[in-house]
A = this chain, B = another copy of it.
């Protein structure tokens, strides 16, 4: 049995989705959804794990990664406020197993909706349908972006793009991370990242210190 979302979450839900969903759908989400809070570093979903709910992100950031059989990883994209996992839609019709890993990048709040409702709402709420297809579109674009980067860019360009993206997602020019972290996200080695970062520093584009990269210009290469 369900209890309605508490005020705190209702307000945030409204901030993130109120402008796009019709009131009846918002009511439905409040009635059905379960609120969840995650802390930075939490593993929200792993590869192969069964998908049972759709997350609607109210706050924070979630990092979506791919991993191969050898344990090699690659960052795909971030989910932010107003986003959801577009792959759940199609999973819900077929596999129901996650093909990606989702870890919490910044403390996050979200509302979880059981998969069963997704389909029902498609017919009931036009704004839900629009949101679903818009999410799928956004994710397909992210995939194409990833493919472009991997196929067409050199590592220094991928690094610059990564930093730019990180600034966008966090909204800060101060990137608090280690070279090792970046190496994992880009699927390269720490030494390579240090080398290329040092190059960017020599060009005056960033400033390096321990656990911190300060971006000096969004003009980062290109």
Residues of A within 8 A of B (CB): 66, 68, 70, 72, 74, 76, 87, 89-95, 99-100, 119, 122-123, 129-130, 133-134, 136-137, 139-141, 143-144, 146-148, 150-152, 187
Contacts and interface: CB of A to CB of B under 8 A. Distances in A.
Given A93-B137, A137-B95, A66 B187 contact: no
Contacts of A72: 151-152
Nearest to A92: B133
Q: Which 7 A-B residue pairings sit nearest by Cβ, starting from the closest?
A: A90-B137, A150-B150, A143-B143, A93-B133, A68-B152, A74-B151, A90-B136
Nearest to A93: B133
A219 B199 CA distance: 44
B99 A151 contact: no
B144 A147 contact: no
B133 A89 contact: yes
Nearest to A188: B151
Given A70-B152, A87-B140, A99-B140, 18 more contacts: A66-B147, A66-B148, A68-B152, A72-B152, A74-B152, A89-B133, A89-B136, A90-B134, A90-B137, A93-B137, A99-B141, A99-B144, A100-B144, A136-B136, A139-B140, A146-B147, A147-B150, A150-B150
